[in-house]
């Protein structure tokens, strides 16, 4: 800590900060452009000038750039000094000399850092009377719109895109007055984090193209704190709604998880909630009929309850993309013995192993901020940039943090970004990746081992053995793998904080066992390491904690007539298993009730369809891969703009259905009640009550506002329906109100922030007003609570499957080392690779993601392609026991021979481990999707 | 005492005189609706959306009128035309809430929304006071006859490329090595 004097007042600040960080952390307003809390200082824009004085007697002082001035003890500075103020005003006047007269037609207007800074510095009237330079724009793909005229050349975009996120296709071109930020050629931005440019860019050069299609200013959006449902990382988001549709997703700062950045799937993958074909009313479909009749809520519940009452036994299929509350309510409805988690057996075996490792391996699952603090990383069988992209970005930061270590040794502060980069010269912490195909992190890796899944597991077992002799050794390991294992073990042992990353992407329990062994071995050596295990879906971790049979079990029970009614919760069974068994099970059941927010093929087979709320309309709790239970809140009430809509949260539907079934009055149930019931029923989830403040939470006696105080059009937005506007919908489930009439300020610490706004700060930079120090934690505490901690052995129940055939030694090491993979002649092993765009069910239904996903390919090793006599781009026919499909070929020189890689989301009938035959498609009779 | 009596009577007589004199003044009331009411040009009455001199819609759906409106009676949504222009996909004013303060007109950066000297908007049903865009849009430019927003904005639209707006240089060729 150090004491500094700002405009005559003494403040305590962090000694390692620069002056700008210190002032912003104190809540003082200093304008800036090129500095960003996550990217440090370069001192390029000259906007943050302040006066620094030598001592008490110095009245003259000198101008310094506060972002480049380290905090010193007893430092005296002035922000309000007239010369400094005048300097800052002039700087922005120069920056604005070429800025177009665009604000009314600019998507950034209203949350624009440049607007904020212009107002803050007092520049109001244009004096420059000469001509403005102009630029041509580029088409940067479906996510990002480009308008180069607005650029003020702060270089933040390339510093984020290239230096921070590792993108290579965006750069600075030209010189002096002609600097241009764009791609060498027009085309979609390749980085998975391009969406952050819209928040990083202080002006409107890079804007959200999906938002522009149905644009609304930030002040007109209704927000709520939400959790991204597109993967298991659990990034915090702020979806904004207007006129009944989600218009954009903004990053919601979380000090431990996502920080300032989201991946593009999370930011742009929300389009499915706005689809016109979404079910909005209950539907009844008679047996054998294709079309359905819409029903009112009571009629739907009565019919559903009548039919369920007639059933001998009801099976419930839950979902890893639904909230804990909804899954719990379904389990209550059908009973524990009849509840399936909705996850296929292979995946569930991995999930239960992961939950066990999280408790028993001895290494904790780090948050993303902690991931960035690890100094040696082994990735076993995961491609984090595809399966959990935000984690991939954190891994990149961790590897490059070596530069900061080097800088510290030379007394260069970590915020001095250019100096650290120059010193580091690309120095990296060791990263090892074992994955069958090329990954986006390969360029940072010390060694990429392209191996088949058994061999990845064997490598992992060998690494564990090299760290700890008691771990099982691997027999007849080839020399190169043995050598690699030795090197990896050495690097992990040399590190202060080694990190093992693995997961269920390759659906291989053996890889998880291996990762678990390494974690145990490291924990035995008392390393402060971490074990990050990647799950596939938003609530995979949570559903595993609830327990339940695998999906195949549920289908078997129905097919063999042991049950005759089925309730499916937000789950498209056809996405998980081949058509035939699902069809068989659905045909065998006399009643199929489906709750979903999408018109999925499963919904089309339902006798009763109940329109469920998506994350935009429902509140609930998800558990992220880190084991953090986080609450998401309904953004809007669907009936306000679409009075005909009968969308309700799944847990509310299921509660009402249960009550109707038991001839009770279906009293309304509150979220609090369901959360409490869920926590009581599952001791492992007891902590979820504390995941967020309850519905009686108030600040200064006020509820929390969902909308900014400038929210416009309240007496006109619904006037075409009825000129007498109804009162805003009430929300008994959460402390939020569906209007601006509540607390939305930054002066009281709180963890529930629907949107960041502070007086004078309309852009995302307003988050600095909510954090304890810039880039730190929310002053009210980071949201969420951890429910999966090492050592927490309590379990709701022990499951028979998955565990029975796992053998482990006394020290807890898994002992089943798989045999090495051997390629078989004329037969290929299918391996499904996770895919960021198009590899996830709901986000693939969004137009922008579908456009970005591009064509699906199948990938072969170069040798295999040569042997088959095919080259890249040729169409190949892939045939397994369940399906046959034609796909264009891509050749990956890294892929081990004998494997054929297919991206996720192409064909649910394909699963990792299937054996497939490949052939050139014959001219006729080939089935296409 | 006597003095105050005189001044009181004088004041009464003067008042009577003034009242009587009004009988010969010009009448301020008009026989509305038989006679037209004169409204000054800057009278703040019924709101219209104007067009630019080329007949294009002036409103670019920037939402500033809506946010300036103290009774929140304006709602609109941006849409984008084929030629790149922004325009309001819908534009709705609830005149049963409007207080004719004119802040929307002041906020408008394109002179699109203007208040006109017309107050004759009574309806039997309140719902009829909800005006949609086709009720609001007029054919002329209104008070600012020459202004074309796109002539000064940097956004390129069909017929006005980059560099063709007022005070703009031709677009930079980023591939040239010349300074």
- Residues A617/A606, Cβ–Cβ less than 8 Å: no
Question: Residue A59's CB: how many other CB atoms inside 10 A?
Answer: 6
Task: Render pLDDT for A338-353 as a digit per residue (tens, 0 to 9).
Answer: 999 999 999 999 999 9
B172 interface with A at CB cutoff 8 Å: yes
The 3-state DSSP class for residue A157 equals: helix
Query: Which residues of chain A lie closer than 8 angstroms to B62, CB-CB?
Result: 103-105, 109
Of the ranges A181-190, A295-304, A347-356, A788-797, which one carries the lowest mean pLDDT score?
A: A788-797
Give whole-number Cα distances, A621 to A286, A326, A541, A624, in Å. 34, 9, 12, 10
Q: Taking CB atoms and an 8 Å limit, are B172 and A178 in contact across chains?
A: yes
Selected residue of A96, A105, A130, A173 to mutate for chain B interface (largest B Cβ count, 10 A): A105
Angstroms from B26 CA to nearest CA on chain A: 43
pLDDT digits (tens, 9 = 90+) for A677-729: 999 999 999 999 999 999 999 999 999 999 999 999 999 999 999 999 899 99
Cα nearest neighbour of A104 on chain B: B62
Cα angle A554, A560, A562 (rounded to 5 degrees) comes to 70
Quick check: is A332 in a domain?
Answer: yes
Q: Residue A30: give the domain boundaries.
A: 2-97
Mean pLDDT in residue range A392-396: 96
Minimal C-alpha gap between A145 and chain B (Å): 13
Structure-token match 């000259």, residue found: A46
Average pLDDT on A60-64 reads 93
**Angle CA A585–A346–A529, to nearest 5:** 150
- Residue A421, domain CATH: 3.40.228
Q: What mean pLDDT is reported for chain A?
A: 91
Q: Is residue A93 part of a domain?
A: yes
For residue range B57-113, what is the model confidence (pLDDT) as tens digits? Answer: 999 999 999 999 999 999 999 999 999 999 999 999 999 999 999 999 999 999 999
DSSP state of A900: E
A496 and A356 in a common domain: yes
Has residue A608 been placed in a domain?
yes
SS (H, E, C) A328-395: HHHHHHHCHHHEECCCCHHHHHHHHHHHHHHHHCCCCCCCHHHHCCCCEEEEECCCHHHHCHHHHHHH
What is the rounded CA–CA span in Å between residue A774 and residue A770? 9
Please determine, for residue A795, whether its predicted confidence score (pLDDT) is greater than 80. no
Q: Are A629 and A691 in contact (CB under 8 A)?
A: yes
Domain stops at, among A97, A121, A142:
A97
Beta bridge partners of A363: none
pLDDT of residue A502: 95
Does the distance separating the beta carbons of B64 and A149 come in below 8 Å?
A: no
Cβ-contact A830, A911 below 8 angstroms: yes
Query: Which residues does chain A have within 8 Å of residue B175's beta carbon, measured at their own beta carbons?
Result: 173
One domain, residues A365 and A510: yes
- Asked whether residue A783 is domain-assigned, the answer is no
Final residue of a structural domain among A518, A541, A564: A541
Distance CA(A353)–CA(A345), nearest Å, equals: 12
Tell me the C-alpha to C-alpha distance, in Å, between residue A711 and each of A349, B117, B131: 49, 29, 20
Determine whether the interchain pair B86/A105 forms a contact, defined as Cβ–Cβ distance below 8 Å: yes
- Do A454 and A416 lie in one domain? The reply is yes
pLDDT of residue A826: 84
- CATH number, domain with residue A35: 3.10.20.740
Range name among A448-457, A528-537, A619-628, A785-794 with the lowest pLDDT average: A785-794
* Partners of residue A136 in chain B, C-beta under 8 Å: 162, 171
The residues that bridge with A4 in the sheet, in sequence order, are A11, A75
Euclidean distance between CA atoms A506 and A636, whole angstroms: 38
Q: Do residues A527 and A451 share a domain?
A: yes
A246 in Cβ contact with A273 (< 8 Å): yes
- Do A431 and A580 fall into the same domain? no
Q: What tokens does A646 get?
A: 């009968």
User: What does DSSP assign to residue A162?
Assistant: I
**Residue A899 belongs to a domain with what CATH number?**
2.40.40.20
Q: What does the pLDDT average to over A4-32?
A: 93
> Of the ranges A123-132, A227-236, A485-494, B126-135, which one carries the lowest mean pLDDT score?
A123-132
State the Cα angle at A204 between A199 and A206, rounded to 5°. Answer: 60
Q: What residues in B contact A132, CB-CB < 8 Å?
A: 154, 167-169
- Closest-CA residue of A relative to B71 is A715
**Is A219 in Cβ contact with B77 (below 8 Å)?**
no
Terminal-residue alpha carbon distance, chain A: 64
Same domain for A302 and A325, yes or no, is yes
Is A134 a domain residue?
Answer: no
The verdict on A507 and A603 lying in the same domain is no
Output phi, psi for A572, to 5 deg: -100, 105
- The answer to whether B155 contacts chain A (CB < 8 Å) is yes
- Alpha carbon B18 to chain centroid, angstroms: 40
Same domain? For A327 and A396 the reply is no
Considering its fold, how many domains does chain A have in total?
4
Instruction: Check whether A209 has a pLDDT greater than 90.
Output: yes
- Rounded Cα–Cα distance for residues A896 and A862 (Å): 9
The dihedrals phi and psi of A360, each to the nearest 5 degrees, come to: -110, -15
Q: Is the Cβ pair B154, A130 closer than 8 Å?
A: no
Which residue, A165, A300, A233, is CA-closest to A653? Answer: A300
Provide the pLDDT for residue A178: 85
Q: How many CB atoms lie within 10 A of CB B157?
A: 18
Q: Measured between CB atoms, does B149 come within 8 Å of chain A?
A: yes
Residues 113-132, chain B: which have Cβ within 8 Å of A?
A: 126-127, 129-130, 132
Q: For residue A234, give how far its alpha carbon lies from the nearest alpha carbon of chain B (Å).
A: 32
Using pLDDT thresholds of 50, 70 and 90, give the confidence band for residue A924. Answer: very low
Of A812 and A305, more confident = A305
In this prediction, residue B3 carries a pLDDT of: 85
Q: Write the DSSP assignment of A551-579 as a string of letters.
A: HHHHHHHHHTTS--EEEEES--GGGTS-H
Higher pLDDT, residue A163 or B179: A163
CA distances, A48 to each of A74, A80, A123 (Å): 20, 12, 15
In a domain, A584, yes or no: yes
Residue A457: what are its φ and ψ, rounded to 5°? -60, -45
CA-CA distance, A174 to A182, in Å (whole number)? 11
Q: Do A591 and A693 fall into the same domain?
A: yes
Q: Which residue has the higher pLDDT, B17 or A804?
A: B17
- Integer angstrom CA distances of residue A346 from A275, A550, A556, A753, A911: 32, 9, 16, 38, 9
To the nearest whole Å, the CA of A107 is away from the closest chain B CA by: 9
* A473 & A525 share domain: yes
Residue A804 has pLDDT above 50, yes or no: no
Residue at A781 is within a domain: no
* Angle (nearest 5°) at CA A408 between A70 and A33: 45
- Residue identified by tokens 């177009």 is A100
**pLDDT tier for residue A793 given thresholds of 50, 70 and 90:** very low
Residue A172 lies in a domain: no
Q: Inter-chain contact B155–A150, Cβ cutoff 8 Å?
A: no
Q: Using a CB-CB distance cutoff of 8 angstroms, which residues of chain A are in contact with residue B73?
A: 713, 715-716, 719
**Tell me, what's the pLDDT at A923?**
46
> What letters, b where the CB count within 10 A reaches 16 and e where it falls short, cover A79-99?
bebeebbebbbebbbebbebb
Nearest residue of A to residue B131, measured between CA atoms: A720
Nearest to A542 by CA among A189, A861, A229, A76: A229
B-chain residue closest to A723, CA distance: B127
Model confidence band, residue A648 (pLDDT cutoffs 50, 70, 90) = very high
**Chain A residues near residue B168 by CB distance under 8 angstroms:** 131-132, 134
Residue contacts between A and B (CB atoms, under 8 Å): 140
List pLDDT tens digits, range A253-288: 999 999 999 999 999 999 999 999 999 999 999 877
Between CA A195 and CA A251 the distance in angstroms is 10
In this complex, do B72 and A716 lie within 8 Å of one another by their Cβ atoms? Answer: yes
CA distance B60 to B153: 11
Task: Tell me which chain A residues have a C-beta less than 8 angstroms from the C-beta of B163.
Answer: 134
Q: Which percentage of chain A shows pLDDT scores above 90?
A: 82
Check if the beta carbon of residue A256 is closer than 8 Å to that of residue A650. no
Sign, CA dihedral A35-A40-A46-A51, equals positive
Q: What whole-number distance in Å separates Cα of residue A606 and Cα of residue A610?
A: 9
SS3 A646: coil
Domain end call among A48, A70, A97: A97
Question: In angstroms, rounded to a whole number, what is the distance separating the alpha carbons of residues A832 and A822?
Answer: 18
Give ∠ CA A579-A580-A583 in degrees, rounded to 5: 80
With a cut of 50, say whether residue A380 has pLDDT above it.
yes
What is the model's pLDDT at position A808?
A: 60
Average confidence (pLDDT) over A729-755: 92
Distance separating alpha carbons of residues A650 and A282, to the nearest angstrom: 12
pLDDT tier at B179 (50, 70, 90 boundaries)?
A: low
State the Cα–Cα distance between residues A124 and A47, nearest whole angstrom: 16
Q: Which of B73, B110, B171 sits opposite A135 (nearest CB)?
A: B171
Region B48-56: what's the mean pLDDT? 94
| Rounded Cα–Cα distance for residues A515 and A541 (Å) | 18
Q: How far is CA B116 from the centre of its chain?
A: 6
As a whole number of angstroms, the distance between CA A872 and CA A857 comes to 10
A579/A693 same-domain check? yes
Determine the Cα–Cα distance for residues A18 and A31; give it in Å rounded to an integer: 14
Q: Note the pLDDT of residue A807.
A: 55
Test A103 with B96 for CB contact under 8 angstroms.
Answer: no
Q: What is the CATH number of the domain that holds A695?
A: 3.40.50.740
* Residue given tokens 């702020």 in the structure block: A238
A432 neighbors A445 (Cβ within 8 angstroms): yes
Same domain? For A492 and A578 the reply is no
Q: Does B157 touch chain A (CB under 8 A)?
A: no
* Per-residue confidence band for A800, with pLDDT thresholds at 50, 70 and 90: very low
A232, A624 contact by CB (below 8 A): yes
């Amino acid at each position: 800590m150090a004491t500094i004097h700002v405009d005559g007042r003494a403040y305590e600040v962090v000694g390692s900060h620069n002056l700008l960080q210190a002032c912003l952390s104190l809540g003082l307003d200093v304008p800036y452009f090129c500095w960003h809390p996550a990217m440090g200082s370069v001192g390029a824009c000259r906007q943050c000038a302040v006066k620094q004085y030598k001592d008490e007697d110095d009245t003259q002082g000198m101008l310094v750039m506060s972002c480049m001035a380290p905090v010193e003890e007893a430092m005296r500075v002035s922000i309000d000094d007239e010369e400094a103020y005048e300097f800052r005003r002039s700087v922005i006047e120069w920056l604005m000399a070429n800025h177009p007269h665009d604000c009314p037609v600019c998507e950034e207007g209203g949350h624009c850092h440049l607007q904020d800074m212009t107002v803050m510095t007092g520049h109001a009237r244009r004096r420059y009377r000469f001509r403005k330079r102009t630029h041509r724009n580029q088409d940067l793909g479906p996510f990002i719109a480009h308008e180069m005229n607005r650029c003020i050349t702060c270089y933040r975009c390339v510093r984020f895109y290239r230096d921070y996120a590792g993108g290579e296709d965006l750069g600075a071109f030209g010189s002096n007055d002609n600097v241009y930020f764009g791609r060498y050629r027009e085309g979609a931005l390749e980085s998975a984090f391009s969406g952050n440019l819209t928040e990083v860019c202080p002006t409107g050069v890079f804007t959200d193209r999906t938002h522009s299609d149905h644009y609304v200013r930030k002040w007109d959006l209704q927000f709520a704190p939400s959790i991204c449902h597109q993967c298991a990382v659990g990034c915090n988001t702020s979806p904004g709604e207007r006129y009944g549709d989600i218009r954009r997703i903004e990053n919601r700062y979380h000090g431990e998880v996502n920080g300032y950045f989201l991946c593009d799937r999370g930011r742009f993958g929300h389009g499915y909630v706005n689809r016109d074909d979404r079910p909005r009313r209950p539907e009844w479909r008679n047996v054998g009929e294709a079309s359905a009749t819409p029903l009112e809520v009571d009629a739907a519940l009565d019919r559903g309850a009548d039919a369920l009452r007639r059933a001998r036994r009801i099976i419930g299929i839950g979902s890893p993309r639904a909230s804990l509350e909804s899954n719990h309510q379904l389990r209550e409805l059908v009973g524990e013995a009849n509840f399936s988690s909705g996850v296929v057996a292979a995946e569930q075996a991995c999930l239960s192993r992961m939950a066990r490792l999280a408790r028993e391996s001895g290494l904790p699952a780090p948050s993303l901020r902690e991931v960035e603090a690890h100094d040696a990383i082994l990735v076993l069988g995961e491609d984090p940039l595809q399966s959990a992209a935000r984690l991939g970005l954190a891994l990149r930061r961790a590897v490059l943090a070596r530069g900061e270590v080097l800088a510290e040794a030379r007394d260069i502060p970590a915020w001095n970004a250019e100096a650290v980069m120059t010193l580091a010269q690309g120095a990296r912490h060791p990263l090892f990746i074992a994955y069958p195909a090329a990954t986006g992190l390969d360029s940072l890796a010390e060694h990429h081992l392209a191996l088949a899944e058994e061999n990845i597991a064997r490598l992992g077992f060998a690494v564990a053995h090299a760290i700890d002799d008691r771990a099982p050794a691997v027999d007849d390991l080839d020399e190169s793998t043995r050598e690699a294992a030795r090197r990896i073990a050495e690097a992990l042992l040399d590190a202060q904080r080694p990190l093992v990353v693995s997961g269920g992407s390759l659906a291989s329990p053996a890889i998880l066992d291996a990762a678990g062994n390494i974690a145990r071995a490291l924990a035995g050596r008392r390393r402060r390491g971490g074990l990050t295990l990647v799950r596939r879906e938003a609530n995979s971790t949570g559903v595993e904690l609830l327990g339940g049979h695998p999906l195949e079990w549920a289908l078997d029970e129905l097919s063999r007539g042991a049950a005759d009614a089925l309730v499916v919760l937000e789950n498209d069974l056809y996405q998980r298993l081949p058509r035939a068994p699902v069809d068989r099970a659905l045909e065998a059941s006399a009643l199929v009730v489906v709750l979903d927010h999408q018109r999925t093929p499963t919904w089309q087979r339902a006798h009763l369809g109940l329109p469920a709320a998506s994350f935009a309309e429902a509140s609930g709790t998800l558990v992220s891969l880190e084991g953090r239970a986080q609450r998401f809140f309904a953004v809007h009430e669907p009936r306000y703009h679409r009075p005909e809509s009968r969308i309700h949260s799944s847990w509310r539907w299921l509660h009402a259905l249960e009550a109707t079934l038991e001839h009770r009055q279906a009293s309304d149930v509150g979220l609090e009640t369901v959360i409490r019931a869920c926590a009581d029923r599952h001791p492992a989830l007891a902590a979820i009550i504390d995941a967020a403040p309850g519905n009686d939470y108030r600040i200064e006696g006020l509820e929390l506002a969902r909308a900014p105080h400038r929210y416009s059009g309240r007496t006109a937005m619904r006037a075409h329906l009825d000129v007498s506007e109804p009162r805003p919908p009430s929300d008994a489930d959460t402390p939020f109100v569906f209007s601006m009439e509540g607390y939305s300020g930054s002066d009281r610490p709180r963890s529930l922030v629907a949107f960041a706004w502070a007086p004078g700060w309309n852009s995302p930079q307003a988050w600095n007003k909510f954090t304890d120090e810039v880039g730190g934690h929310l002053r009210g505490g980071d949201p969420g609570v951890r429910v999966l901690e090492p050592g927490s052995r309590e379990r709701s129940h022990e499951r028979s499957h998955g565990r029975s055939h796992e053998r482990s030694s006394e020290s807890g090491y898994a002992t089943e080392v798989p045999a090495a993979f051997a390629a078989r002649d004329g037969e290929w092993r299918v391996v499904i690779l996770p895919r960021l765009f198009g590899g996830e069910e709901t986000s693939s239904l969004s137009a922008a993601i579908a456009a970005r996903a591009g064509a699906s390919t199948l990938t072969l090793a170069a040798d295999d392609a040569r042997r088959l006599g095919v080259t890249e781009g040729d169409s190949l026919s892939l045939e397994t026991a369940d399906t046959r499909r034609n796909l264009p070929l891509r050749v990956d020189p890294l892929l081990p021979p004998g494997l054929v890689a297919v991206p996720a989301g192409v064909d649910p009938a394909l699963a990792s481990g299937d054996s497939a035959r490949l052939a050139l498609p014959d001219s006729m009779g080939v089935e296409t999707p | 005492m006597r003095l105050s009596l005189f001044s009181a009577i004088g004041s009464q007589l003067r008042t009577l005189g003034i009242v009587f004199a009004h009988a010969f003044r010009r009448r301020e009331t008009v026989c509305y609706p038989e006679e037209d009411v004169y409204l000054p040009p800057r009278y703040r009455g019924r709101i219209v959306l104007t067009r630019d001199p080329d007949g294009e819609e002036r409103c670019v759906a920037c939402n500033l009128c809506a946010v300036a409106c103290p009774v929140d009676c304006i709602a609109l949504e941006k849409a984008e035309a084929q030629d790149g222009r922004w325009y309001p996909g819908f534009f709705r004013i609830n005149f049963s809430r409007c207080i004719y303060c004119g802040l929307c007109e002041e906020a408008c950066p394109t002179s699109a929304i203007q208040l006109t000297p017309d107050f004759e908007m009574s309806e039997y049903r309140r719902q009829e006071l909800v005006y949609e865009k086709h009720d609001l849009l007029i054919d002329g430019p209104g008070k600012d006859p020459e202004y074309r927003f796109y002539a000064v904005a940097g956004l390129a639209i069909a017929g006005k490329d980059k560099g063709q707006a007022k005070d703009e240089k031709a677009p930079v060729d980023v591939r040239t090595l010349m300074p």
